[in-house]
Chains A and B, each alone.
Chain A
Amino acid sequence: MDVKDIIKPENRVYAKTPVLTSTTMHYCPGCSHGTVHKLIAEVIEEMGIQDKTIGVSPVGCAVFAYNYLDIDWQQAAHGRAPAVATATKRLHPEKYVFTYQGDGDLASIGTAEIMHACNRGENIVVIFINNAIYGMTGGQMAPTTLIGMKTATSPYGRTVELHGNPLRITELLAQLDGTCYVTRQSVNTAVAARKTKKAIRKAFENSALKKGTSFVEVVSTCNSGWKLSPVKANEWMVENMFVKYPIGDIKDR
């Protein structure tokens, strides 16, 4: 059979969801952000909630997320996305409200906001992109940076004596009574991406059921910050990141 006979509209099994805009993403080649954006867009399309979803974008590379997902957005000050999402959800309880935050945003400057939003059990979804580095500002050390990992501000590698230990904030948040679903996923393979999509869908469904805060961490790559090719970065993530940040559900009630 010729390729021309296969490429017909009736044979199409995968195409870009209309919830994603046609804008070319500004992310570096191979960046996990693009994959996670797509998964969120697909979940929104499948649930039919495009006009009922409000996203809160962070400070970080994903600050421009509003250019890529065709839904309502609000942009929050650094780390304050959970506070903005709290207000948005309380004023519009019928909407699906989610925050999209990186590790510099959520686990560093925004620690107080995420802790208290999760402890209050706000019915929001939190998507947490953990790539163990500050990607946007040039690859500085983040709270989640691994021991021994070289960054712009830890050029000889992170040490416990000088920089303290990597912060596993997802495990911390799972301890809080307000969270109903806490999971850690990744998007390095097709299988992992499909699992992440399921997790995001479950998180949005929990939000409608008023079960509490759903928290989805996605262990991601920052190949520019890590100074690796996209494929090598994925391999490095499996070998190093998954040891400190194991994949799987941490809490589900």
Chain B
Amino acid sequence: MALRGAIVVDTEKCKGCSVCIANCPTNTIALAREVNSKGYNFAYMATPDSCTGCTNCATVCPDTCITVYRVKV
């Protein structure tokens, strides 16, 4: 049974600290080229297919700007 996941990043609250990227076991997350209104490159799912919804990124996010979804397929 495989797990598929997805994250939603509150791009306005994200400060682009990259701690989520360092903690993502499947290298799903990257920083966007665009910036938010504060000038931070926010995190986003660069490869959505590889996300397993493990919640590691959301657990270590200092600004709690990640919501995680997970389904069994």
Contact = CB atoms under 8 A, between A and B. Distances in A.
Interface of A: 1, 3, 5-8, 11-17, 20, 24-25, 27-35, 38, 187-190, 193-194, 229-231, 234
Nearest to B65: A16
B25 to A, nearest CB: 9
Contacts of B70: 6, 11, 13
Interface residues of B, number: 37
Interface of B: 4-6, 8, 12-13, 15-19, 21-23, 40, 45, 48, 53-71, 73
Given A1-B4, A29-B16, A11 B59 contact: no
Given A6-B4, A12-B67, A29-B17, A35 B55 contact: no
Contacts of B66: 14
Contacts of A33: 62
B62 A35 contact: yes
A8 B69 contact: yes
B67 A231 contact: no
Contacts of A31: 62
Nearest to B69: A11
Given A3-B48, A30-B19, A230-B17, A14 B58 contact: yes
Given A1-B73, A11-B69, A193 B59 contact: yes
Q: Across chains A and B, which 5 residue pairs bring their CB atoms closest together, nearest first?
A: A34-B62, A30-B17, A29-B15, A190-B56, A29-B17
A15 B67 contact: yes
Contacts of A34: 61-64
A52 to B, nearest CB: 23
A35 B66 CA distance: 12
B73 A187 contact: no
Contact of B60 (A8, A17, A189): A189
A190 B53 CA distance: 13
A247 to B, nearest CB: 16
Given A13-B55, A24-B63, A230 B19 contact: yes
